[in-house]
Each structure stands twice: as structure tokens, then as C-alpha cells.
Structure 1
Amino acid sequence: MDMNAMLAGVSESERQRLMMMLEDMQIKEQVTMYNSLVERCFNNCVTSFRSKTLDDREEKCITRCTTKFIKASARAGQAFQAIGMQPGQGMPGAPGGGV
């Protein structure tokens, strides 16, 4: 079910309020994901503080780590999107949704 169908019968002001809440939730989720990425890659790749800059090994490790994290997140997003598009497999509690 698409967003417009879900919001049928909702006033325009309420619709705008819901969209702003959704945007806020998405921004918070992006910040959380970014912070998780930074923490995980830093903890895995930076093992000493010999210098104020990253050495080649650390830089390569962080590049691999961030690339892998972004690709994994994209694949997970695609999988969730595919599940959500299947009839009867939407969000739980939503009309036509899952469990």
C-alpha cells in the first residue's frame, strides 16, 4: 500500500505534520547509522595513536570498512523494500501487513 492510500481521509495539516515527523525520524536514523559506522570502523582499524594522522594500513582498513558497511546497509534496505512490496507482507499492524 502506498503512502497516499494510507493517508486517505487525513487532513492536509495532519498530513504535513506526519511527513515532518517521518523526515525527522529518517534524519535521526541516518545520524545513528553514521555514528555507528564511525565507531565500528574506528575501533576496528585504529589500534594506536603513534601519529595525529592515519597511517596507510589504517586508512585502507577504514576505506574497506566504510565501503562494506554502506554496501551491507544498501542490500538490507533493498531486502526490506522487496519484502514490503510483496502483497500481504507490509509492515506489521498496517492494513494488508504482516504478522
Structure 2
Amino acid sequence: MDMLTQAEQRTLEQRMQKRQVKEFMGAFGNLVEHCFDSCVDDFSSKALSSRETGCINRCVSKWLVAQRRVSDRFQEHNQQLAQQMNK
């Protein structure tokens, strides 16, 4: 990025931030859709039942744990690649 002007750097950073927000919103939307489809099946009431609430809580918790594990493994992989490149 040293070859870019300050204006180009700002533009690149803005585009990267927009893309990250878009990717996050897509992932969040997928999470909501998955947990809703998996847990909510009774539409006789406006409120969620205790079973549905518990299911959604477990679903979101599992998703967060899975995302954390993926992130950890990705960081480990990047560290290994960086070490290999430095040798």
C-alpha cells in the first residue's frame, strides 16, 4: 500500500470496510434464517415459546462457537504460512 496515494488508500479502506459490512450482514442474515427455520414452527402466537427461545439461544451459541473455531484455525494457518515464508 506504500505505492498508493493517501486518497487511493482512503478509497481502498472505504471499499474494504463496505465489503466487510456486507459480508457480516450476509453471515448475520444466514444465521437468523437458519436459526429461525430450525427453531420456530408454531405461528399460533406472536411470542416465541420457551422451547423456541431455548432452541434459538442454543443455535446462536453454537454458531458463535463455530465461527470462533474457524477464526482461530484461520489465524493458526496464517501464522504457519507466515513462518514458512520467513524461513
Which among 10, 13, 27 is matched to residue 19 of structure 1? 13
Question: 1:56 offset after TM fit, Å?
Answer: 0.5
Is 1:73 matched with 2:73?
A: no
| Structure with greater contact order relative to length (CA < 8 Å, sep ≥ 6) | 2
SS in 1 for 2:43: coil
Question: 1:88 offset after TM fit, Å?
Answer: 5.3
The TM-score, its normalising length taken from structure 2, stands at 0.86
Aligned residues: 85
Q: CA RMSD in A?
A: 1.9
Q: Which residue of 2 aligns with 1:38?
A: 32
The TM-score, its normalising length taken from structure 1, stands at 0.77
Question: 1:14 offset after TM fit, Å?
Answer: 0.8
Unaligned 5+ residue runs, structure 2?
none
CA distance in 2, matches of 1:35, 1:49: 21
Question: 1:8 offset after TM fit, Å?
Answer: 1.9
Q: Which residue of 1 aligns with 2:23?
A: 29
Question: 1:10 offset after TM fit, Å?
Answer: 1.5
Identity of aligned residues (%): 34
Does 77-86 or 27-36 show the bigger shift?
A: 77-86
- Runs of 4+ residues deviating >6 angstroms: none
CA distance in 1, matches of 2:7, 2:79: 28
